[in-house]
């Protein structure tokens, strides 16, 4: 290599490093790091004393790591390469299954393996909470239905990584159902999803998302309405609306956690309600607002048909896809993104029924609170 070429390469390298370092040092807004489910590290304040210098260097190092130019693109490329060539992820939140399936990591792995069953005490506490909830509502003429939506790993266990074995045969859901002894106020949707799988050629859960898709949610909604009709004449007019189907491309939350949203995608059959009656009149699901009655992230819809009953829903993210169908079955549907129940919520909204839709994996959490 000639001396000129040598110096030219040094110059180009130096300029490139200077640009990258300069861009890293520029102020950056704090943003969500989707692949790590955390906020990016902010630019630390300059130390005002020698004692603060050590902490400053740690915070500044974290800031630089989070703000390397093209960091997101580099992370996406790394994650895609690991997934395609080694079928693995570096994220603790996402695990790679077979045939392109992604699953939620973390405590969801423990749930799949049944490695943390209820203790006698924790199971009794859960059941006591549910029984108190049901009894308190019944004494006030209000029905109660707990709906358990299956985990993706429960609905499609065959694509789960083979390295994760079952420690015991019964899950927390099995333990809970056995303890309550077949009470009709609990609706386990696992059998309904299994039946729908047998007769449907389409997937009921997303490959790139933690949740069921529109078809899975529709199957769940039909089962809920059937159970309501069997419980009381109050729900005899509840009917799943007419729907239409269309094919769409979708990239889910698991792809987003890997910084691969839009890169990993799948075709899915989206379901739309034909001529919906329900109209959303209040939507604060994207905020952290709390209502005067203590409810979190409220959404209210009304159909205008006062002959239908009123429902209050306690929900999690599995309710998002099922909500359009269920809202058509009630005069008013009030959704709260929480599982705690208080007398204030009931007094404020005066429902005919409380429907609690709980994802199976949340049975790993502490039982919800009753303020009744």
What angle do helix axes 214-231 and 190-199 make, rounded to 10 degrees? 130
- What pLDDT is recorded for position 22? 55
Structure tokens at 349: 């909204």
Predicted confidence band of residue 116 (pLDDT cuts 50, 70, 90):
very high
Predicted confidence band of residue 295 (pLDDT cuts 50, 70, 90):
confident
- What pLDDT is recorded for position 340? 96
Surface-to-core class of residue 72, CB atoms within 10 Å of its CB (0-12 exposed, 13-18 middle, 19+ buried): middle
DSSP three-state, residue 79: helix
Of 11-20, 186-195, 300-309, which range is least confident? 11-20
Percent over 90 (pLDDT), the chain: 72
Backbone angles phi, psi at 290, to 5 degrees: -120, 130
The predicted-structure confidence for 199-243, as pLDDT tens digits, reads as follows 999 999 999 999 999 999 999 999 999 999 999 999 999 999 999
Contact by Cβ (8 Å): 194, 207: no
Surface-to-core class of residue 129, CB atoms within 10 Å of its CB (0-12 exposed, 13-18 middle, 19+ buried): middle
> Angle at CA 62, nearest 5°, toward 56 and 66?
140
- What pLDDT is recorded for position 311? 98
What is the pTM for the complete model shown? Answer: 0.82
- What pLDDT is recorded for position 371? 95
Higher-confidence residue of 34 and 366: namely: 366
- What pLDDT is recorded for position 81? 84
- What pLDDT is recorded for position 292? 72
Mean per-residue pLDDT, 83-100: 93
Strands (E), 150-287: 186-188, 243-250, 266-273, 279-283
Decide if pLDDT at 318 tops 80: yes
The predicted-structure confidence for 249-286, as pLDDT tens digits, reads as follows 999 999 999 999 999 999 999 999 999 999 999 999 88
Mean per-residue pLDDT, 326-333: 98
Mean per-residue pLDDT, 336-353: 97
Predicted confidence band of residue 7 (pLDDT cuts 50, 70, 90):
low
The CA distances from residue 46 to 31, 60, 68, 156, 364, in Å, are 21, 9, 20, 52, 43
């Amino acid at each position: 290599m000639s001396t000129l070429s040598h110096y030219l390469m040094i110059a180009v390298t130096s300029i490139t490093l200077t640009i990258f370092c300069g861009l890293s040092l520029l102020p950056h807004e704090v943003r969500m790091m989707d692949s790590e489910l955390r906020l990016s590290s902010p630019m630390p304040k300059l130390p005002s004393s020698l004692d603060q210098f050590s902490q400053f260097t740690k915070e500044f190092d974290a800031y630089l790591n989070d703000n390397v130019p093209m960091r997101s693109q580099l992370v996406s490329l790394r994650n895609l390469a690991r997934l395609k060539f080694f079928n693995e992820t570096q994220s603790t939140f996402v695990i790679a299954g077979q045939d392109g399936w992604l699953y939620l990591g973390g405590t969801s792995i423990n749930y799949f393996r049944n490695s943390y069953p209820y203790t006698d005490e924790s199971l009794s506490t859960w059941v006591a909470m549910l029984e108190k909830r049901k009894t308190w509502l019944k004494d006030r003429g209000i029905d109660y239905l707990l709906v358990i939506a299956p985990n993706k790993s429960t609905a499609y266990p065959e694509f789960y990584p083979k390295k994760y074995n079952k420690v015991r045969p019964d899950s927390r859901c099995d333990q809970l159902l056995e303890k309550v002894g077949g009470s009709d106020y609990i609706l386990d949707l696992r059998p309904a999803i299994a039946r729908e799988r047998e007769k449907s050629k389409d997937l009921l859960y997303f490959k790139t998302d933690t949740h069921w898709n529109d078809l899975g949610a529709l199957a769940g909604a039909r089962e809920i309405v059937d159970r309501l009709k069997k419980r009381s004449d109050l729900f005899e007019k509840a009917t799943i609306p007419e729907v239409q189907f269309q094919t769409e491309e979708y990239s889910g939350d698991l792809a987003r956690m890997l910084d691969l949203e839009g890169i990993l995608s799948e075709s899915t059959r989206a379901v739309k309600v034909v001529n919906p009656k329900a109209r959303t009149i209040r939507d604060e699901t994207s905020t952290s607002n709390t209502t005067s009655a203590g409810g979190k992230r409220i959404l209210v819809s009304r159909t205008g048909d006062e002959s239908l009953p009123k429902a209050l829903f306690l929900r999690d993210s599995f309710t998002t896809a099922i909500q359009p169908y269920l809202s058509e079955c009630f005069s008013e549907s009030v959704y709260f993104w929480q599982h705690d129940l208080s007398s204030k919520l009931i007094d404020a909204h005066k429902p005919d029924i409380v429907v609690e839709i709980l994802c199976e994996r949340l049975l790993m959490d502490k039982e919800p609170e009753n303020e009744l």
